[in-house]
Amino acid sequence: MKGVIAQEPLIKITRNLYIETYGCAMNFADSEVVAAIMQDKGFKTTQDIKAADVVFVNTCSIRDNAEAHVWGRLREIKHHKKTNPGLIVGVLGCMAERLKTQLLEKEQVIDIVVGPDAYRDIPKLIARVEEGQKAVNVLLSREETYAEITPVRLSSNGITAFISIMRGCDNMCSFCVVPYTRGRERSRDAASIVNEATELHKQGYKEVTLLGQNVDSYNETDSAGNLVTTFAQLLEKVALIAPDLRIRFSSSHPKDITDEVLYTIKKYDNICNYIHYPLQSGNSRILELMNRTYNSEWFKKRLDKIKEVLPDCGISSDVITGFCSETEEEHNDTLEMFRYANFNFAYMYQYSERPGTLAARRYKDDVPADVKLRRLNEIITIQSENSFNNNKKKIGEVHTVLIEGFSKKSMADFKGRNDQNIVVIFPKEHYQKGEYVKVLIEKSTQTSLIGKVVEQVMF
């Protein structure tokens, strides 16, 4: 009888991946795609950088201070590599696309540089690093949407999730690096988006945010180039999944917010009455320099239409102060627009010149830093008053809120957001995360509403 050679059981080696993400919601969604790609190759995510075998920093290039923050963080990560020489460090995203091999040259800590369209190639790049090489792939794509990849939800509350519906941008605003770092616009097929949202709902998620650089220009086409699904039609498809699945979307470009989108929001209770409506400047000459494709009067009329169709719509905006050649009078036009628009919230910034953009090539960044800061503070003052007064008007109203988790200040209080995307705080009592409740607003601050539950919403 021949002897039998005992074999050791195969042991699957699992390695740890640590991801830090900076910038917009699209970057956070991308990190979840990267985690899925790495999970398929035997990696599990960890929140402890000291336990990591691979560290990725997913970056943003929208402003200079965003990049400066990443450079500082990379210097800190360098210390981890000294204590763990086998640690692989990669830079992902927009900064990787913009700076490319400069990242490898400037900081010895970096092994891998990967642009937003090359995440599928990461396992091969890691293998190359393990062979003793540096690895770069920043090729942009006209087709990549990662449509069939199911993201790994990182640091999820189990209630809200992002769904990327498109990638890239065709708008070419003169101040913006996004078309250069994320490439041309392309849309995912609607079926894959609906499937992802459906699966999330089955897993207990109660809210999805549809993401894109400009979601309103979403368009699914067939092989012949014929339009199959508009953004309004996509909104409807997702809304029909379940009445207790809330839908939000971000971000928009004013020129692409159609009446069809507005009336679709009005038609479905589970599509939130909230639109991000970026202004950038209240002056028509500056808007033309920015290549925004609309003037201040057009912006006002479109804003009026939104408020006509959706009277209770929460509206937020973006503004850049101190853009090239902006005069005091033109700045005052922006102040007046803020008074007119009465936004619920706004993201407000000083102009930060980004290398490679049209503005950097054509226009002089000639507004002094102290003037930019003073103008920014004037805008902030008006917006703070608008936010405070808008919230104060809601005292005595009852708002439907999706419970997302505990308040930052107290484990005795829950927090959630209402239809208009305003944070609402209320006593926890016997309610549970993921439930919808009606909250009577009793107090307000500039940034939130405070009240008590008067009823649980049943579907």
d(CA 141, CA 144): 6
The amino acid occupying position 28 is F
Regions in the chain scoring below 50 on pLDDT: 1-12
Three-state DSSP at 292 gives coil
Give the per-residue pLDDT at 3.
42
Give the per-residue pLDDT at 13.
62
Give the per-residue pLDDT at 446.
96
CA nearest to 368, candidates 321, 336, 402: 321
CA nearest to 212, candidates 196, 243, 188, 195: 188
Decide: 270 and 245 in contact? Cβ < 8 Å: yes
Give the per-residue pLDDT at 107.
63
For the beta sheet containing 135-137, the strands, ordered from the edge strand earlier in sequence to the opposite edge, are 43-45, 15-21, 54-59, 88-93, 112-114, 135-137
What angle do helix axes 231-239 and 259-267 make, rounded to 10 degrees? 10
Give the per-residue pLDDT at 402.
98
pLDDT in tens, 157-177: 999 999 999 999 999 999 999
d(CA 362, CA 358): 6
- All structural domains of the chain, each given as residue ranges with its CATH number in brackets, are 15-137 (3.40.50.2300), 160-392 (3.80.30.20), 398-457 (2.40.50.140)
